[in-house]
Amino acid sequence: MEIRPVRHSKLAEVDFDTLEFGKYVADHMLVCDYADGEWQQPMIVPYSNLSLNPATLALHYGQTVFEGMKAFRMTDGRINIFRMDKHYDRFARSLHRMCMAIPPADIFTEGLTRLVELDRGWVPNQPGAALYLRPFVYASEAKFGVKISEQYRFVIFTGPVPELYTSPIKVKVETNYVRAARGGTGFAKCGGNYGAAYYPTKLAREEGYEQVLWTDAKEHKYIEESGMMNAMFVINDKLVTPPVSDSILDGVTRDSLLTLASALGYETEERPVALAELEAAFRSGTLTEAFGAGTAAVVAPIKTIHINGTDHNLPVYTNASVHRVIKDKLNRIRTGIDGDIYGWNHVIE
């Protein structure tokens, strides 16, 4: 793989004690083009702007897909790319749904590994902080008719991010707008899903809620996701989450937390969660936790859920709360304190 290193690293300009999410990018990026029916040679080059023809198809018709993953500094100083294979599989499923060319697994795996190796100095040492990895593909063909692009560009860039600790948030159950419907693109990490979610989220913020809890598009009876995270609940001491579907994204964090919760002895259930069930569980006091699960924050605890005109409050969380216990276990595996019996860590020597 051709590597063109930077002449001057920007690493010294970054204060790792005051990181902000999305503010800094590391020195290099991977670029690989698809043309004439095949993927060309990937290259690692200095991070720079992309030059786009105004007719670039991705800008008009939305053929764009991304992933969001992280590399962690382990306690022994080595670096771990977390669950690379599962992220690749989802990337491929998203691209397939959007009729886009899929970078081969070896270009993804090799490319990401070489990129992180080269920019290893950018992986933070601070507990909970990480190097965020952003692979994406966009339709790069320049032609202004509506069509499936015949050219694509695959890019990976990275940037150091702090531990995203979110204090418990207020969420509003959304029963008018939808994020995803059966048969749609909800399971894919395609750009359009995010842009379309902004407006209902903005309205919820104006009413004093930080996020929306999405419900199913057909009946608005069942919980789907929490903002751009998977929704999880503790009801009757069981960890309960809606099953993945074509409208619920198959989150890597969700999967990891379910696995760890079972291993730690909690009962887990993947089944539909009705609004009526949540209301009843609030009344009986059996709903003890609600949180979002995703790569950026691991867990985003919820303190209030607004359902059909009523604010319901959750109990105050403690270090014994299930979401904190399983988050802690996940961090211990990722940093190598506890053994990686699941084969989740891709360790760079």
Ligand X SMILES: *Cc1c(COP(=O)(O)O)cnc(C)c1O
Distance CA 47, CA 5 (A): 10
Taking the complex as a whole, the smallest distance from the CB of residue 230 to ligand X amounts, in Å, to: 5
Task: Confirm or reject binding of residue 63 to ligand X (CB under 6 A).
Answer: no
Q: Are strands 64-66 and 69-73 parallel, antiparallel or unpaired?
A: unpaired
Among positions 211, 295, 335, 345, the unique one binding ligand X when judged by CB under 6 A? 295
Distance CA 96, CA 321 (A): 39
Distance CA 56, CA 49 (A): 15
Taking the complex as a whole, the smallest distance from the CB of residue 248 to ligand X amounts, in Å, to: 8
Task: Confirm or reject binding of residue 80 to ligand X (CB under 6 A).
Answer: no
**Total residue length of the chain:** 349
Is 123 within 8 Å of 130 (Cβ atoms)? yes
* Residue 48 exposure: Cα atoms within 13 Å on the Cβ side: 10
Distance CA 246, CA 188 (A): 8
169 forms bridges with which residues in the sheet?
302
Instruction: Give residues 302-341 in contact with ligand X (rule: CB under 6 A).
Output: none
Taking the complex as a whole, the smallest distance from the CB of residue 192 to ligand X amounts, in Å, to: 12
Total residues at interface with ligand X (CB under 6 A):
13
Taking the complex as a whole, the smallest distance from the CB of residue 300 to ligand X amounts, in Å, to: 11
Task: Confirm or reject binding of residue 249 to ligand X (CB under 6 A).
Answer: yes
Among positions 230, 241, 321, 345, the unique one binding ligand X when judged by CB under 6 A? 230
Task: Confirm or reject binding of residue 242 to ligand X (CB under 6 A).
Answer: no
Termini Cα distance of the chain: 19
Instruction: Give residues 174-203 in contact with ligand X (rule: CB under 6 A).
Output: 189
Q: Which is nearer to ligand X, 56 or 345 (CB)?
A: 345
Task: Confirm or reject binding of residue 229 to ligand X (CB under 6 A).
Answer: yes
Region near ligand X per CB under 6 A, out of 19-27, 142-150, 239-247, 249-257: 249-257
Contacts of residue 78, Cβ cutoff 8 Å, sequence gap at least 6: 336, 347, 348, 349
Distance CA 101, CA 185 (A): 17
Distance CA 284, CA 139 (A): 51
Among positions 56, 80, 253, 335, the unique one binding ligand X when judged by CB under 6 A? 253
Taking the complex as a whole, the smallest distance from the CB of residue 74 to ligand X amounts, in Å, to: 20
Distance CA 112, CA 157 (A): 9
Taking the complex as a whole, the smallest distance from the CB of residue 137 to ligand X amounts, in Å, to: 16
Which of 301, 317, 287 shows the shortest CA–CA distance to 211? 301
Region near ligand X per CB under 6 A, out of 97-105, 127-135, 203-211, 250-258: 250-258
Which of 150, 143, 156 shows the shortest CA–CA distance to 42? 156
Q: Which is nearer to ligand X, 189 or 323 (CB)?
A: 189
Among positions 79, 137, 252, 281, the unique one binding ligand X when judged by CB under 6 A? 252
Taking the complex as a whole, the smallest distance from the CB of residue 63 to ligand X amounts, in Å, to: 17
Among positions 103, 294, 301, 336, the unique one binding ligand X when judged by CB under 6 A? 294
Distance CA 269, CA 25 (A): 39
Residues at the interface with ligand X (CB under 6 A): 68, 189, 225, 228-230, 249, 251-254, 294-295
